[in-house]
Amino acid sequence: MQRLVLTAILISFVLTGFGQQQNSEIDKKDLKRIVKILAADSLEGRGIGTEGQKKAERFISDTFKELGLNTFSESSYLEEFEVKQKYWGEVYIETPNAKLTNFENMVFQGNDVQNEEIEKEVVFGGMGTDEELNKIEVADRFVLIFIDNLRAGIKYKKKLAKRNAFGVILANPENDKQFESIRLTLKSHYLAKRHSLPRENRTKSKIAEWDTIQYVNGILIPNSQVKNISGLSINQLNRLIEQNKIEDAPKIKVKAKFEKIENTIKTANVVGLLTGKTDKTIVISAHYDHLGKIGDRFFAGADDNASGTAALLELAERFSKARNLNYNIMFLATSAEEAGLLGSEYHVNKHSFNPEKIICNINIDMISRKDDKHFGNKYLYCIGSDQSKALNELMIKADNAYDKCEFDYSLNDSSDPLGLFTRSDNYNFYKKGIPAIFFHSGIHKDYHKTTDTANKINYRNLEHRVKLISQVVELLESDGL
């Protein structure tokens, strides 16, 4: 569908109100309408902090308002928070004869930031033995070392840190193809944008995991750049090694910059509440962000996770019509899940959050497609039901109450080779000691690709899956755990 048509649908849908248009039944037409809005071109993949994500945020908030859900704070459905974004900018070493730029003719492997260009000397360290390093002054210098495996350079990064070197430059004269293999393999990983919560909002376990071992920055270079870095050819340097005269190698001055760009992104979870008779709460969660865009390509994220967000809104409508709820129900649309489960991490680490008041977390993420393990669509993975006997029995009871879809329990516990339970928002609730269930339909060929589009979803099957989840919520609401 064209961009203008979908934009018009989005504006019309929000203005007229989801709650006013539809009855409380979970319906494939509603689900399809919501998925198309969230996966529309105009939202450009709902990347965190983008205008597309803010449109999705407003759409969910307006829907909660139309349904009559209570706000999370005094006057807003938004739970606002900040995300720290970091990524490498200009990274290079400039010699008198050449400029080596990251992932072109060098590979930077380090953490120490150098945002301003500086000048340093490069000294030759031979094969990096203690005997060789004792013969040269390495403090505050780059040290060029020949190594027979570029992937094993960490020992030199650690050794030279103890000697106060500025950095280590590694080359493998015996296998120049290895550099190219590493360059292609690591490029996307090292150039990716990293996200985290500010320190005060992180879990204690993540802070404790920080590595306290010191390493100098490592730079890998191809053999074609050895002479530019050192002033001598590989053969000349090898002769100095054989003669035990590495100290005779010239000291070359180079300029270097390892720029780290840091941004602060403001985003928000969207939270709607239904009030019950007690102070205990069932939390239903689904992330509404996705991967955004790269250049002119955007990642629609129809299954991941417009489908889960559509389910969340349909369940909100379904239970907004209920009377005399035993427990509170929180509908939590999380942001920054794709950046590392950050929205749910922020939520569960707020001072006001009390795990003892949460009965269960039901997390819905990617429920509209099928994986290659199933012939048909009459299934939904129920991951985490083995946490307790009561939880398992409740799932079986819900399963038996609805015959158009059934739970697949095969990814519980150690049977989950991909570790799926730890890869969505339910995991942050689980780490707080809260029973958490992850509903999911499996990984498919369009996962995290631009081809995850709304036209590939079977909405009748999606309806059945949401109705099965609704059975679980009804049982939890009436019986608890």
**In terms of C-beta density within 10 A (0-12 exposed, 13-18 middle, 19 or more buried), how is residue 54 classed?**
middle
Q: Which helix (H) or strand (E) holds 287?
A: strand 281-287
Q: Is the pLDDT of residue 5 over 50?
A: no
If one compares 17 and 185, the residue with the highest pLDDT of the two is 185
- In contact, 460 and 404? CB cutoff 8 Å: no
Q: What is the mean pLDDT of residues 298-315?
A: 98
| pLDDT at residue 210, rounded to an integer | 40
| pLDDT at residue 214, rounded to an integer | 86
Q: Is the pLDDT of residue 11 over 60?
A: no
* Region of poorest pLDDT, from 81-85, 197-201, 260-264, 469-473: 197-201
Q: Which CATH number fits domain 3-68+275-479: 1.10.260.40, 3.40.630.10, 3.30.70.890, 3.40.50.2300?
A: 3.40.630.10
- In contact, 83 and 342? CB cutoff 8 Å: yes
* Region of poorest pLDDT, from 64-68, 205-209, 360-364: 205-209
The token pair that represents 178 in the structure block: 């290895």
Q: Is the pLDDT of residue 59 over 90?
A: yes
Q: Find out whether the peptide bond into 244 is cis, omega within 30 degrees of 0.
A: no
| pLDDT at residue 204, rounded to an integer | 58
Give the count of alpha carbons within 13 A of 461, CB side only.
Answer: 16
| pLDDT at residue 75, rounded to an integer | 87
pLDDT tens digits for 73-120?
888 999 999 999 999 999 999 999 999 999 999 999 998 999 999 999
The token pair that represents 374 in the structure block: 């199933």
Where, residue-wise, is CATH 3.50.30.30 in the chain?
86-262
| pLDDT at residue 16, rounded to an integer | 37
Q: Name the band, by pLDDT with cuts 50, 70 and 90, for residue 414.
A: low
Q: Name the band, by pLDDT with cuts 50, 70 and 90, for residue 10.
A: very low
Q: Name the band, by pLDDT with cuts 50, 70 and 90, for residue 213.
A: low
| pLDDT at residue 190, rounded to an integer | 86
| pLDDT at residue 416, rounded to an integer | 75
| pLDDT at residue 202, rounded to an integer | 66
Q: Which helix (H) or strand (E) holds 238?
A: helix 234-242
* Region of poorest pLDDT, from 39-43, 58-62, 183-187, 363-367: 183-187
| pLDDT at residue 270, rounded to an integer | 98
Nearest CA-CA partner of 259 in 401, 108, 148, 157: 108
| E-assigned strand segments in 14-113 | 70-71, 78-94, 99-101, 107-109
| pLDDT at residue 417, rounded to an integer | 75
Architecture of domain 86-262: 3-Layer(bba) Sandwich (3.50)
Q: Is the pLDDT of residue 6 over 60?
A: no
Angle at 188 (CA atoms; ends 457, 445), nearest 5 degrees: 20
Q: What is the mean pLDDT of residues 170-188?
A: 93
Name residue, tokens 């928070």.
Answer: 81
Nearest CA-CA partner of 83 in 29, 126, 47: 47
Ordered alpha helix ranges (H), 210-325 = 226-230, 234-242, 308-320
Q: What is the mean pLDDT of residues 197-209?
A: 63
**Chain centre to alpha carbon of residue 352:** 25
Where, residue-wise, is CATH 3.40.630.10 in the chain?
3-68+275-479
Ordered alpha helix ranges (H), 243-365 = 308-320, 342-348
How many whole angstroms separate alpha carbon 65 and alpha carbon 54? 16
Q: Is the pLDDT of residue 458 over 80?
A: yes
Residue-averaged pLDDT of the chain? 91
Q: What is the mean pLDDT of residues 332-342?
A: 97
Pairing of strands 436-440, 380-383: antiparallel
